[in-house]
Structure 1
Amino acid sequence: MRAVRYILAGAMLCLGTAGFAATNTSNNNGFRYKWKDTSGHSYFSDSLTPEAMMAGYDVVNSQGVTVRHVDRQMTADERAAAKKIADQKAAAMQVEQQRQRDDAQMLNAYPNEASFMTAKNAELENFEQATRTTRLNLQGQEKALADLLTRAGDLERAKQPVPGYLTQRISEQRNTVASLRATLQRQQVAKDAAKVKIDAQLQHYRQLKAANGG
């Protein structure tokens, strides 16, 4: 029975010694934590406290030298604002990278200004061809509308009723003419915008060629 007690006492002594060693290691790792509150008062601690994490802290070695600084924890609003800024920077970087790719592609596609203008003039010709086609169609539809109106006018002057089908045709023809006029206007606006864009592209192309020694 006495032998059992000795064994148990020895086991407890070993456990106590191990626990002390573990505690001593965690509390004597050679580092302390230093931080300041909102009033500027400094605090030191052997362990990292919630107050230190909220304020931001310095890790100090056994010689009192700061070896690392850790910023304070951000609030939810601050984290959201930081994420928004990071997302904006990432988006701006993507735009810049795409612009660089586009510039490189432009220089590769057009070795000189003559080739550039040949391609751009072809683009403008497409716009011009579309407006010419619409304009000719509009002229034909306007003439058809004028003929219908003349027929209706002749009947009215002859004191004869205008048939319903003719009235319907006139209404439909007016809608056709109005639609074509709107289309022609949109095409003209698009052509003018293309001219402005091409002028800007030409200036940019010249700048790229100059920057690349071209």
Structure 2
Amino acid sequence: MRHNPLLMLSLLLLAPVAALAQNKDAGSNKKLYCWDENGQRVCSDALPAEAVNRAREEISARSGLKTAEIDRALTDEERAVAAAEAAQRLLDEAKVETRRRTEQAMLTSYRSEEELMRVFSERTTIVDNNVRTAQYNVGSLRDGLVSLLQVAGDRELDGKPVSEDMANNIRRRHLELMRQLQLQANFERQRVELDDEVAETLQRYRAMKGDGEADATATPAS
């Protein structure tokens, strides 16, 4: 097979240019990682395993500009709090929907008080589950905080310093415990409010039906 000399020469001339472009692209993608460790700012072109879950910034090695900011990984307790807050949002949405349905269709959709009470059963289950979950989270957080405080106290009694990581962990767990206690109080208040809402809805239903004694044996969801 005959080779075109001009084509071969062009390929030879272009090869270094292509390699240079590849090297340039590789260099432009290189980045630095910066995070806090024991109160000190640490930067490296490689992220060690012990820093993977820490909050960090990613900086372009070529431009020196920050390209990303990564939050630290959530703890188990923080994930539990986030789940509880998500459950709260679902509960609020369900409450709005329940009110809309009961106001618009009370006379036409429900033939009995028992049928009306089924509308509230899902919300009642959600609130009860939220109360139990918050109670469990509070107990778990409190036990963990007590253990950390005992360890920190023993170290101080032994004349050893309490590390900054341990002190930060104690502060973080305390804040999480306060948030979870607030969530628990909110859920317990909502459970009482739900009982009041059920009783009020029953009263309106009976008045709109014009029969105050209709299905009088039905009881609010509990």
Q: TM-score, normalised by structure 2?
A: 0.46
Q: TM-score, normalised by structure 1?
A: 0.48
User: Normalized per residue, which structure has more helix?
Assistant: 1
Higher relative contact order (CA 8 A, sep 6+): 2
Q: Which structure: larger Rg?
A: 1
